[in-house]
Amino acid sequence: MQDETYPDFGGLLQRDIDWLRACGVPMGAIIRPQPIRRSHGFRAADGRFEIDANGPVWLTFIEPEDVIFWRPKTSELATWTGRSFALGEAVIGNAATFSFGNALHLYASPLDWLRAGRDGTVVLDWRHAFDRLRECPRIAVDDRLLPIYRRHMRPARMPDVFLLEAAQQRNHRRSA
* 155 HSE (CA, 13 A, CB side): 5
Show which of 84, 104, 136 is a domain's final residue: 84
Give residue-wise pLDDT tens across range 86-128. 999 999 989 999 999 999 999 999 999 999 999 999 999 999 9
Q: Which of 29, 59, 84 is the last residue of a domain?
A: 84
The model's pTM: 0.84
Q: Is residue 3 over pLDDT 60?
A: no
Task: Please tell me the predicted confidence (pLDDT) of residue 165.
Answer: 76
Boundary (domain end) residue, out of 28, 61, 84: 84
Same domain, yes or no: 21 and 80: yes
Residue 123 CA, chain-centre distance (Å), reads 4
- Residues of the chain with pLDDT > 70: what percent? 90
Co-location of 22 and 96 in the same domain: no
Instruction: State whether 80 and 114 are in the same domain.
Output: no
Q: What pLDDT, on a 0 to 100 scale, did the predictor assign at position 163?
A: 77
